[in-house]
Each structure stands twice: as structure tokens, then as C-alpha cells.
Amino acid sequence: MSEHQESPRSPGEHERSASTADMRNWPTGLTEPKLEANDHQSQRETLIRDKIAKSWGSLVGAHGYGEPQAAAGLLYDSLYRSGAVGDQLPPDERETTVAILEQPVDLEGDMPDRDEFVQAVADTMVRGVSVAETLLPGAREQIETLAGRGDEVIIWSAGDPAHQHHKLGAIGLHDPDVTPNVEPPVRLNPDFEPLEIQTAIATNKSTPENFDRVREAATGRQVVVVDDRAKNILKFLEEFPDAKGIWVQFGVHAKRALAKQASGEATDVVDAIAQGRIFPVGAVDQTVASIDSMYEAGVLDSAKELAVAFDYDDTIIDNIRRRDLQHAAVERVLRTQGWI
């Protein structure tokens, strides 16, 4: 269901609308308990939403990526057996996160089978989100333009590999050597013309093994890396000293890096920009223009073929918006199934 469609009425909404119509008939002194009940309902729903968000976010915070099956299992325990939550989180996880996940919640639904719950929630995280709605303006067109003129496009990304390939399929991108083997099967969005790309995806995208995959995909071409995190570009340039970086200044990570620069920190990024190794752009739709400028300035060799390695989250898609849609989709499934 698109976020523009009307959401299913949550438990309690009917009671709230009915109570408003009937309040004039209640004896004096009976309205306050009803209002308190409504307040309790609101707090309960807020806690459930917080648990959905924290079950995903705590794993991202701990490992740098989210794994749908693990997040779904953590959410199950947070909702139905909160005493088991602590065993699944690292000792340094924030106290506020642990407190929310371990807080008991007054559920109105039936306790489901754990395996059934985990499968349904994980599948919703992977295939129940309209990722295409989060595509950043011009991102897909930039990739099409580069691929159309013979440049090799590589997705260099961190995350659960299967999840990342599903997110790529949502905007019509697929790696012919990998996508057919992903489970559950990747659905290519029919709203986009299918476009073949290569991928270097791992839970930590800066491992030697994943860099080797980039090197294999680039096949001796000169390389440009496009990422929203300046520190990731610096890691890439350490591995590929002759490469150039395009820093897409979008999203929370870019804003933090810009704030550090403004306060006199992140001098390594400032130096790389001054040396002509990193080229900042305000948005991903400036990628092709930036590459063309590099050719014109002689930074890139027009006689050599090019490979462009794109980050995915917050470079091609708005990942915070995607995450919010994911949380909303999970909540809808829990309500539809009668589990909360």
C-alpha cells in the first residue's frame, strides 16, 4: 500500500470517535477515565512503534547494517518476551534503546508463532516497501547515462547482501551474476527498464575481499567513486590511489561531515578536496556533469575507459525515508495479522 493511501484504522480509533459523540450523555465525572484510557492507548501505540524502530536501529548501530531476520526476531522478543532482549544486544548498546526494547507492552492481539512472525516481518522489510518512492531525483538517470555511453557501473554498498539486491531490484537494477541466486527471489520493478550493473556488496564494504570485487568489476578501467560519506571515499582512495571521488552532500552523514569541516575538523577531507581527489556535489543528479568536468580539466583521461562505483543508501535513495516506510509497513502487517 502506498503511503498516499489511507492507512488501516488502528485499534482504538473507533472507540475514540464514538466516545466523542456520546460524551454529552455521560454523567458528570465519567469523562476523565475515558480520556485516560485514550491516553494509555496512545502511549501503547507509541511504544510499539518505538520497538519496531529500535529493533532495526539497534542492529544497525551495533553492526553498521540491518539484517531482516535478526531484526524481526528481536522485535518478536521485544513484544512478547522482553526479558530475552538483552542477550541479543552488545554491551555498549545505548541504555535508552535497551530500555525501550525491554519495556513490557500491553498488547491487544494474539501471541503468534515465532517462526511465522519472523518470516512475515522479515519478508515485509525486504519486499514490502516501496523503495522506488525514495529514489533521489536524477539518480537512476545518471546511472542510465553512464551505462549508455559504455561506462561500467558498479554498486559498492554495505548491508545485508540479499536485502541490498532487493532494494536494487526495486529501481530496476540487477547484477546478472548474483541477482538470480538471491532468496527470496528479487522482483524487478516493472516501472523501470531493467538495467544490468555489477555489484560489490558486503556487510562491511571496505574489506579487502569487497575491494577485490570492485577491482574485478572495474577490469583495469580508471575509477570514480560516488558516495555520501566522505570517510568512505577516503577509504576507497587508499585502496585505489589513482581513483577520484564524488562526494554527494546529501543526508545526515554528509551534514555531520560538513559540520566537522566548519569547526576545523575533518582536515583529511578538506585536503583531499584541495588536492583535486574529491569533488563535492550538492546532489547525485550532478554526477555526470562532475565527471564531464573532470574530463575537460584533464583529471580523467578521455582515452581510457571508466568505471563508476556508486554507494546506494543516501547516494541513490533517501535511506531515512526508506527506513520510515519500512517501519510503517511492519506496523501495518502486525495490525493486519492481529498480533498487536
Specify the pLDDT at position 1: 40
Specify the pLDDT at position 92: 66
19 versus 262: the higher-pLDDT residue is 262
Supply the DSSP symbol for 8. P
Cell numbers of 200, please? 560489490
Is there a contact between 268 and 229 (Cβ–Cβ < 8 Å)? no
Task: Return the closest-CA partner of residue 47 out of 100, 117, 107.
Answer: 100
pLDDT digits (tens, 9 = 90+) for 107-137: 988 899 999 999 999 999 999 999 999 999 9
Helix (H, G, I), strand (E, B) or coil at 339: coil
Q: Which residues of 109-131 are buried (b: 16+ CB within 10 A; e: fewer)?
A: eeebeeeebbebbbebbbbbbeb
C-alpha to C-alpha distance for 239 and 155, rounded to whole angstroms: 16
Taking the whole predicted model, whether its pTM rises above 0.75 is answered as: yes
154 versus 85: the higher-pLDDT residue is 154
Share of the chain above pLDDT 90, in %: 78
pLDDT at residue 223 tops 50: yes
Contacts 24+ apart (CB under 8 A), 229-232: 229/253, 229/254, 229/257, 229/311, 230/254, 230/257, 230/266, 230/269, 230/272, 230/278, 231/257, 231/269, 232/205, 232/206, 232/311
Q: Which amino acid is at 277?
A: R
pLDDT at residue 312 tops 60: yes
**Domains assigned to the chain:** 31-130+321-336 (no CATH), 136-317 (3.40.50.1000)
Residues 6+ apart with CB under 8 A from 221: 152, 304, 305, 306, 307
Specify the pLDDT at position 110: 87
Name the pLDDT band for 213 (thresholds 50, 70, 90): very high
Specify the pLDDT at position 61: 84
pLDDT at residue 283 tops 90: yes
Determine the length of the chain.
340
Specify the pLDDT at position 25: 35
Range 55-72 average pLDDT: 91
Computed over every residue of the chain, the mean pLDDT equals 89
Cell numbers of 275, please? 588536492
Range 144-161 average pLDDT: 97
Specify the pLDDT at position 10: 37
Specify the pLDDT at position 188: 97
Cell numbers of 86, please? 538483552
Specify the pLDDT at position 36: 61
Specify the pLDDT at position 265: 92
pLDDT at residue 7 tops 50: no
User: HSE on the CB side for 233, CA within 13 Å?
Assistant: 33
User: HSE on the CB side for 291, CA within 13 Å?
Assistant: 22
pLDDT at residue 26 tops 60: no
Specify the pLDDT at position 315: 98
